[in-house]
Structure 1
């Protein structure tokens, strides 16, 4: 079982997104989320990305912590 801690860069790579610091900052700036929309239901995700995020949260997977970090940054 992979118990390594994942970074935002790792998460963006897993989601098939550019994962440089500048790309992550731009993504977060351009995709703000209102508090009433769950992260996995955001309109900017593909169905596969939304499913990955949903499973990471629902299963409290090793990705859950960094998914929570992304959620916080998108609402900042």
Structure 2
């Protein structure tokens, strides 16, 4: 499972548990997912990404943007 798929799965679990705004704001990708993203970013800096890796990194960026929007909305709903 790639980094984006792992984070996507973690986000689904977060929302399925229904933990509320506090849980959303505390969400961080797993250490495994963060390590994979760091690896992809390093390969990107080196200009060594394969097409599949570039797609994986692009999906992660999309998920990161989505999570930023969700967290911004969650902040508005905190007491």
**TM-score of the superposed pair, with normalisation by structure 1:** 0.38
Q: Which has the higher contact order (CA 8 A, sep 6+)?
A: 2
Instruction: Calculate the TM-score normalised by the size of structure 2.
Output: 0.37
Q: Which entry has the higher C-alpha Rg, 1 or 2?
A: 2
